[in-house]
Structures are given as C-alpha cells and as structure tokens.
Structure 1
Amino acid sequence: MSGGVQTDTEDVEDPVAYFLQDVGYHGKTERTQDAYERVLRDFEAFLTEGTARTTSGLTVDEATHRDCMEWVHTKRGELADSTIATYASYLHRFYGYMTQVGVFDANPMTIVVEQMDESIDTDPARREISVPEMQAFVRGIEHPLDRAVIVTLLKTGLRAGELCNLDRRDLHLPAAPDAEDAPVRATIDGRPRSLYVSPKPRQGVEVNGERRTESNKRKRETVVPVDEELSAILVRWLAIRPDAVSPAEPLFVGTRDGWGQRLSIDTVHRIVTDHARDRGWYRTGGGAAENVTPHYFRHFFTTHLRSETGDRGIVKYLRGDVAEDVIDTYTHNWGDRVRETYEGKIYSLLD
C-alpha cells in the first residue's frame, strides 16, 4: 500500500477516525465504537514506533501482513488468546471496510486471520455449561422471539451477525404457517427443514434489496439442517412474527423497539445477555471466560457437537470455517453425511 490515502472525493488524513465515523453511521453502539478505537489506536501507535521491517515508523495504510503479524505476536503472553483473536478481528474488519470503500488498496489482515485459529472458541478458562444446564436455561425462556433466537444460535453455531442477516427465503420449513406463500432459495428448495447461510452479506452492501448493517464471515455458502426441535420453535415464531418493514423479509424482526425491523447484533446480544444475567451467567464487566454471550453459544455448539461426532470436518463445515474443497466433499453427499450425522448427534434443548 502507498501513502496519501484518499477517496474519490476527499483526502483521508486520519483513516481510523474515518472508519469510526462510518461505524457510527452504520448504527454501531458507542461501546462498540470505543472498543474499535482502543484497538486501532494501539495498532497505530505500534506502527509509529517502528516494526522489524522498518524502524522509521509506518502509517496504517502502509502496513503489510508481516507488520500485522508482528503486532499480533506482541500481544501473546500479555493477553488471553480469546482477546487476541478479538483484537485481530477488529483490525481485519477495519482493513476490510477501508478496502471495500476504496480508501485502501488491500487488506493485509486477510492472510493473518486465515492462519489464526479461532482461539476464542478453545479458551480453557471459559465457563463450561452442561447440556442439562443449557436445557434448564432454554426452558425458562418464554418469549417466542427470544427463544427462537437463542435456540437457533445454539442449534446452528451461527454468529450473531449471520443470524441477523437471515431472510425468510433462507429457511425452507414446510410446516411453517406461511410456507405456501414464502419464497425459498433454489439452493434449499429440494432440502426441506434446511437453513441457508450466505457468505455475501457485508456491512454497507445491498443484498436482496436491503443495505446490510452486519457482515457474514462465511468462507462459502452453508446449508444447515433444521431438526424437529428447532423446526417447532421456528414454526411458533413465524406464527406471531410481525410484518417485516424491509422488502427483504428478514427472518428475525423486532417485537419491542424497532417493531418489524431486522434485528441488529446489539439486539441479539441484549436478548442473550438479559436471559444469561437472570441465570447468573452474565455480569457487567465480566470477561469472555465468565460471561455467556451469543459467541458463547457458538463455542457450546462446537464443543458438544465435535465431542459427539468426532468429525471435525462436518463441524467446521456447519460453522462455515472451511474452504471450497472441503465443503464440496461434504455437500456432495448431503443427505448421507452432514444431515444424518447432525440429526443423529445434535443435543436436545427441550428434554
């Protein structure tokens, strides 16, 4: 990358401030903006002091993947692996967005995050919750939207942003009350009780007639089975789901503030943490090891399904973590491999 950062219409003297302003425009909370700023300014200061590649100092638009890797390396031993993974994701989103809007030429974090494991999912200090404990937790959730959101996260391993980006067309559910009228993607038209997760939604990009405020992180499209338990919960949700404001027909929309509007990551986080707090699983100021958040459900899904199946490939496929060649291996025999394994091993949450 070269200096002299600019867009088509203006020079950008402070790329970090430019990004933070856009984050605010996209509706991110002040808490989220502050978290981004702390990490990005730390990285900026690291570059200014010089790296192994150059001692004269760098600006963020001049950084290469090696500079980014060096910054990540400096955090090891200082921070928990889960925190380092979170910091790296912030930097990746910053570069990804700035590249997308044409301010930067490339994203040097792409190769870095591809080499990093999702350490946040394997933190040995993380709270451990058994299936019976999670069943008791789910039984205490009565609101149809809250239960549908939480059980979908627990049963699919979706990220909060991926759940927010789901449209009605992404769910093929023959038992749904609106099944006769609801459109279904061609990819899952012949796969009843399936959920399609697209890699296309990106913050600021229009998908299905709606500009998205959240990004999906899938490497490729994924079709996730919907078992009978999740099917029943989604049928109940669709029976009372408010009419969507967006023509994209979001699957999950607000029933309190933002009536009929697509859920945001902040709303999903609030739904989960409000119930977790009631259970004693969330404390303001608590860290990732203590608090149960939407991402914890992804960890729970991964840990328990991997333990039951012994098949890391299928679990990685369902999480959307694998590249084209592996996905092709598992989607070729969908009915005999992925769905059969999933339905035979996925835990029940309502027993």
Structure 2
Amino acid sequence: MATEPGVEDGTTIDDPIAYFLEEQRYHGKSERTIDAYERVLRQFEAFVRAEGATPADATRRECMAWVHSLRGRRESSTIASYASYVHRFYEYMTRVEAFDGNPMALVMEEMGESIDTNPTRREISIPEMRNFVDEITHPLERAVVVTLLKTGVRVGELCNLDLRDLHVDTDAFGLDQEWAPRVALESRPQSLYVDSEPACGDVYNGEKRYASNKRKRETVIPVDQEVTRVLLEWLAIRPDTVSPAEPLFVDTGGDWGHRLEPSDVRYIVERHAREQGWYRTGGGASENVTPHYFRHFFTTHLRDRTGDRGVVKYLRGDVASDIIDTYTHDWGGQVRTVYESNIYSIC
C-alpha cells in the first residue's frame, strides 16, 4: 500500500478516511450513511495502528485480524456490514489512485459472514409498544416516537419536517398558536406533508439540510387524534427556532432551538429502547429497536389490519408513480378512510 497517499493530481492526503468521507458527501450520501462509515473506519484505523500499520499501508493480514477481533462481540451480519464499509473505502481509494490496492478484497471472499438484507426482527405487540410509549414523558421525545410509530416516516424525513408541513386543529386542544400550512395541505386538514425534495447539503425552505428524504414523490399522511395531541403538547413548549424555516422538531439541550438531526433521534430511541431491554450494544437489526424499526412496526401492523398493500405503500412513500397518483387523487376518500379505520392506538 502507499505510505503517502495522493490522488491523480499528486495532492497528498493527510487523512485518507476524512478524504473518503468528504468524497461520499459530495456524491450525495446521507449524513446517516457517512456517520456509519466514519464510526467503522475510525475503529478499523485504531486497530491497524495498534498493529503497527496505517490504513494506507495495511495488508490482508491486518484486515483479517481486525475481522477476527469482531467475532464474539458482534453478530455475523454486523461483521459483514462493517467489513463491506472498509472494502468500499479501499475500493474507492484505489480507484482514485490514492492507494495501490485493496487488501480487503480477498478478505471479503474468504469471510464466512453474510449480510442479512431481510433480518427477522424482534416481535413487539401493540400493547407492549403502548407500554413503551407510556414510559416516555418528555414532550419532544414522546412526539418524535409517536410520530415515527404512527406515520412510518424515515428518521431523515422526520427531521426535515417544518411547521408548515403540519395541518391540525389547534382550537380543539386549546393551543394559542397559529401557523399557515403549505398550500398542498389547505384542503387536507389533520394531515402531515412529507416532501421528496430535501437532500443532504441542499438549501430547502431557506435552510441547509443535513438529511435526505428518500421518497420518489411527496406524500400526504393522515394525522389522527393521538398524533395531534402529542404534537400540540410538544408545540406548546417548543423553543423559538433558530432557523426561519421553523423546524417542527428542535433540540431542547445543547443545540437549543436548532433542528433535530438523525443522530439526535437515534439517541432518543436508543436510550429508551435500552431502558426497555430492546437494545444491546453489538446487537443487530434482528434484536435492536431503532427509528427504522418503528417504520417496520408501522408497515407490519397497518398492512395486517388493512389488507391493503397499496395504501400502506403510498403512506410509506415507496411506490411507483402510477400507484401514488391513484391514491393522491383519492386521498380524502380511500387513504384517510383506510388509515383512520385501521391505525392502532399507541398512547
């Protein structure tokens, strides 16, 4: 491997990992993905340095020793995922001629672990989830968890929500606060708008975003009385926001008034899941409850209750344009009726 890595123009790279991460950011990777890469790559870097090498000159031996060090501490699928991150790092750095070769290539071929792309997840009943939610008392954290559980939005989509994306009846709950919902919601009360446009690094509604929405098209999601109540309880104490975009969810801690980021949401969920015994360091997707688990929970329970996969796919925002057009045109009929008749009570 090259001991002083550089790129095609001869520029020296002092920190190959930082260089790789910045390149991935330029390529549009989400902050969540970049955070995952950085966490694993820095752990790998610390290991190979303890072995007397660096990422730039590590060999197959150091790479294999690192993989072996993970066994017994991580699930097989987690090890495979971590190894794939390192493999992609070396593959990219080799392609830009910063490194001479990829020592992880052969290691990946020899590994017995495999990535489980469709893991069997922990089964949690609605009463169990209701007890979980009951233990969450902070208005912000409660609103975040309930919104994830009852709308199926992704964590990045939740963080990108602005106040204008919510249209609910504040008078019914005695909240002395008004705002103008976006035009797309004017004729659709009790609803939440999830746009497809926000992307990491782009300015959207006057604010630079640090998470991407992954929907192919915008989605209007019905909001029931439970979601309305927890959101208004949160808005009643929500701090003044730093951003003119008026984020729906903002930090109440060290970054007071700033938009919540995906890492903040993951921390909230992990902390409460640990207290419930639903999260363990080193546990994989089959064991740990994360924000993405809530999307799985929403999909599974609503699909089982409705028997209407089309509506569920529409709400998740991952359907083809012809199907989404059908439900968009009949939003006030089929979508809201199916949702309100079948959505579970969670708090």
TM bracket, shorter-chain basis: 0.7 to 0.9
Task: For 2:182 and 2:251, locate their aligned partners in 1 and report how far apart those are by CA, in whole Å.
Answer: 23
Map residues 99-114 of structure 1 onto 2, 5 A cutoff. none
* SS, match of residue 220 in structure 2: strand
- The Cα RMSD (Å) is 3.3
CA contact (8 A) 1:254 1:261 kept: yes
Deviation at 1:309, TM superposition (A): 0.7
* SS, match of residue 258 in structure 1: coil
Per-residue CA deviation, residues 165-200 of structure 1 (Å, 9 max, x unaligned), is: 000000011226668631211111111110000111
* SS, match of residue 219 in structure 1: coil
Per-residue CA deviation, residues 251-283 of structure 1 (Å, 9 max, x unaligned), is: 000112211110011100011111111111111
Task: For 1:60 and 1:185, locate their aligned partners in 2 and report how far apart those are by CA, in whole Å.
Answer: 44
Per-residue CA deviation, residues 316-335 of structure 1 (Å, 9 max, x unaligned), is: 11011012111001111112
Matching residue of 1:251: 248
Matching residue of 2:87: 42
Matching residue of 1:21: 22
Per-residue CA deviation, residues 114-150 of structure 1 (Å, 9 max, x unaligned), is: xxxxx3xxx22x1110000000001111110000000
Deviation at 1:78, TM superposition (A): 3.9
Per-residue CA deviation, residues 48-68 of structure 1 (Å, 9 max, x unaligned), is: 9xxxxxxxxx8379xxxxxxx
Residue 168, structure 1, aligned to residue 148, structure 2: no
* SS, match of residue 134 in structure 1: helix
* SS, match of residue 240 in structure 1: coil
* SS, match of residue 234 in structure 1: helix
Task: For 1:76 and 1:331, locate their aligned partners in 2 and report how far apart those are by CA, in whole Å.
Answer: 47
Residue 134, structure 1, aligned to residue 129, structure 2: yes
Residue 150, structure 1, aligned to residue 125, structure 2: no
CA contact (8 A) 2:161 2:249 kept: yes
* SS, match of residue 236 in structure 2: helix
CA contact (8 A) 1:250 1:262 kept: yes
Matching residue of 2:102: none
- Say which of 317, 321, 331 aligns to 1:324: 321
- Say which of 218, 222, 227 aligns to 1:221: 218
* SS, match of residue 288 in structure 2: coil
Residue 79, structure 1, aligned to residue 114, structure 2: yes
> If you compute each CA radius of gyration, which structure gives the higher value, 1 or 2?
2
1:349/1:12 Cα in 2 relative to 1: closer, same or farther (>3 Å)?
A: farther
Task: For 1:150 and 1:75, locate their aligned partners in 2 and report how far apart those are by CA, in whole Å.
Answer: 41
CA contact (8 A) 1:305 1:315 kept: yes
Q: Which stretch shows the higher mean deviation, 322-331 or 180-189?
A: 180-189
Task: For 1:33 and 1:228, locate their aligned partners in 2 and report how far apart those are by CA, in whole Å.
Answer: 40
TM-score (norm 2): 0.73
Per-residue CA deviation, residues 6-62 of structure 1 (Å, 9 max, x unaligned), is: 9xxx989899753413679997786552347854441365689xxxxxxxxx8379x
Per-residue CA deviation, residues 196-252 of structure 1 (Å, 9 max, x unaligned), is: 001111010000000001111011000000001111111111111111110000000
Residue 208, structure 1, aligned to residue 208, structure 2: no
Q: Give the letter for the 2:151 counterpart.
A: T
CA contact (8 A) 1:173 1:179 kept: no
* SS, match of residue 193 in structure 2: strand
- Say which of 259, 262, 268 aligns to 1:265: 262
1:333/1:280 Cα in 2 relative to 1: closer, same or farther (>3 Å)?
A: same
CA contact (8 A) 2:17 2:41 kept: no
Deviation at 1:81, TM superposition (A): 2.6
Q: Give the letter for the 2:19 counterpart.
A: Y
Map residues 286-305 of structure 1 onto 2, 5 A cutoff. 286-305=283-302
1:295/1:76 Cα in 2 relative to 1: closer, same or farther (>3 Å)?
A: farther
CA contact (8 A) 2:302 2:312 kept: yes
Q: Give the letter for the 2:125 counterpart.
A: S
Task: For 1:299 and 1:273, locate their aligned partners in 2 and report how far apart those are by CA, in whole Å.
Answer: 16
1:266/1:75 Cα in 2 relative to 1: closer, same or farther (>3 Å)?
A: farther
CA contact (8 A) 1:167 1:251 kept: yes
1:16/1:335 Cα in 2 relative to 1: closer, same or farther (>3 Å)?
A: same
Task: For 1:184 and 1:139, locate their aligned partners in 2 and report how far apart those are by CA, in whole Å.
Answer: 30
| Runs (5+) with no aligned partner, structure 2 | 1-6, 43-81, 98-107
Task: For 2:110 and 2:302, locate their aligned partners in 1 and report how far apart those are by CA, in whole Å.
Answer: 31
Identity %, equivalent residues: 55
Task: For 1:199 and 1:232, locate their aligned partners in 2 and report how far apart those are by CA, in whole Å.
Answer: 26
Task: For 1:5 and 1:189, locate their aligned partners in 2 and report how far apart those are by CA, in whole Å.
Answer: 53
CA contact (8 A) 2:149 2:294 kept: yes
Q: Give the letter for the 1:231 counterpart.
A: T
